[in-house]
C-alpha cells in the first residue's frame, strides 16, 4: 500500500488599495514561500508583483523566499512603500505643533 504524501495548505495574499487577492494552495511538505507563491498562480493575476524586489512574509513577519512554509500559513506579498514612514510622521507632527517664535 502506498502512503499519501504529506502536504501543507497555505493561503497566499496580496492587496492594493482597490483589490484583495486571497488564494489557497496545497503543497508538498517542506515547500518554500516561493513555491507557495508560484503554486497559487497569483503572479498571473497580479503581474505587477516583482519578487526580486518586493518583500514577503508569513502572518506579518518578514520571511525569505526560501523559508519553509507550515500548514495553514498565510503568505503575504508586500508592496513597496510609496513614502518614507519616518518622514511622513515628521510632517504630521509638524502640522500639529504651533511654530515657535524666538
CATH number of domain containing 88: 3.10.20.30
User: In 3-state terms, what secondary structure has residue 76?
Assistant: strand
Q: Which pLDDT value is given to residue 98?
A: 66
Does residue 77 fall inside a structural domain? yes
**Residues 4-16: tens digit of each pLDDT:** 679 999 999 999 9
Domain contains 26: yes
| Dist. CA 50–CA 48, nearest whole Å | 6
What is residue 56's three-state secondary structure?
strand
The half-sphere exposure of 42 on its side-chain side, counting CA atoms within 13 A, is 25
Residue 96 pLDDT grade (very low, low, confident, very high; cuts 50, 70, 90): confident
Cα dihedral 24, 44, 28, 20, rounded to 10, equals -30
In a domain, 102, yes or no: no
pLDDT at site 93: 87
43 falls within a domain = yes
What is the tally of structural domains in the chain? 1
14 CB neighbour count, 10 Å cutoff: 24
Query: Looking at the predicted structure, is the pLDDT value of residue 68 above 80?
Result: yes
**Which domain range does residue 43 map to?**
7-96
Amino acid at each position: 500500500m502506498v502512503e499519501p504524501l504529506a502536504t501543507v495548505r497555505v493561503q497566499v495574499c496580496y492587496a492594493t488599495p482597490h483589490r484583495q487577492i486571497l488564494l489557497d494552495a496545497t503543497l508538498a511538505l517542506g515547500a518554500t514561500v516561493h513555491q507557495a507563491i508560484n503554486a497559487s498562480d497569483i503572479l498571473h493575476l497580479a503581474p505587477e508583483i516583482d519578487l526580486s524586489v518586493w518583500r514577503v512574509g508569513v502572518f506579518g513577519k518578514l520571511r525569505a523566499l526560501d523559508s519553509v512554509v507550515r500548514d495553514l500559513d498565510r503568505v503575504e506579498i508586500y508592496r513597496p512603500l510609496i513614502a518614507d514612514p519616518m518622514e511622513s510622521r515628521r510632517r504630521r507632527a509638524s502640522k500639529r505643533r504651533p511654530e515657535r517664535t524666538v
